[in-house]
Amino acid sequence: MMTPSILVFLGSERVSGAPLPTRLGAWVAAASLRRLADKGVAATLIDPIEVDPPHPFKPLFAYKAGKAPAALDRLADQIRQADGYVMISPEYNHLMSPALSDLLNHFGSSLFSYKPSAIVTYSAGQWGGTRAAVSMRTFLSELGCLPVSAMIHVPHAQDVFDEDGEYRPGVDGDRWAGYFDRTLDQLCWWANAAARQRSGGSDRPQAFVTSPAERNAP
Ligand SMILES: Cc1cc2nc3c(=O)[nH]c(=O)nc-3n(C[C@H](O)[C@H](O)[C@H](O)COP(=O)(O)O)c2cc1C
């Protein structure tokens, strides 16, 4: 089996509390990267604090050629080259984190589309981000990176993982690994399938050529 190249987007940038702990998403991201590494999958973390897109908001495609910030160009290249994406988000007021939606909104669907994504949500409380995950499906589908059917939700994430993404004492690591695998294996399967289709020279259907209005119903 081929090993796909995966980008892991961390939808968390809250560096000071309360509520504590802060940046719980980094722990979940570390756990996801560990699980992917265990499976021999090459994965790269995308951290919104490191990317630091300029504000006020201006998407990459709104810049004139050669004028975009280097950080956005760099991330666009990474998105273009990846075979699939893991999208990690907390639940903020029942929606995905603004850190993740803001970062993703900088890039058009042409970079993400015809590739799969995996939804990973978490919370400090009991719901595991499930309500945010529902709307993430809509968001990611519009972006073109179709979410696989299985999802990962981690309630009380601070009791499951430590800061390095290791299981806390007393946690049933095998069960959690199996739970993560259900989603990550679907992601890798689809990522490989889409990569084969691309390398076979298959043309991707275009949503529109010059104007979004070309998508309109007759
Ligand atoms: C603005 C805000 C809104 C929140 N809304 C929810 C929520 O709707 N559901 C939930 O389960 N937890 C909610 N929480 C608690 C988060 O699950 C918890 O703070 C978690 O650590 C956030 O992830 P982060 O540390 O990576 O930012 C919220 C936290 C914040 C700061």
Q: Which domains does the chain have, with CATH numbers?
A: 5-215 (3.40.50.360)
Q: Is 130 in the pocket of ligand 1 (CB under 6 A)?
A: no
What band does 147 get if pLDDT is binned at 50, 70 and 90? very high
Classify 21 as helix, strand or coil.
coil
Crossing angle for the helix pair 130-143 and 98-105, to the nearest 10 degrees: 0
**Can you give the pTM of this predicted structure?**
0.96
What is the bridge-based pairing of β-strands 152-154 and 145-147?
Answer: unpaired
Tokens of 214: 């070309």
Q: What is the pLDDT of residues 35-82, one digit of tens each?
A: 999 999 989 999 999 999 999 999 999 999 999 999 999 999 999 999
125 touches ligand 1 (CB under 6 Å): yes
Q: How far is the CA of 52 from the centre of ligand 1 (A)?
A: 21
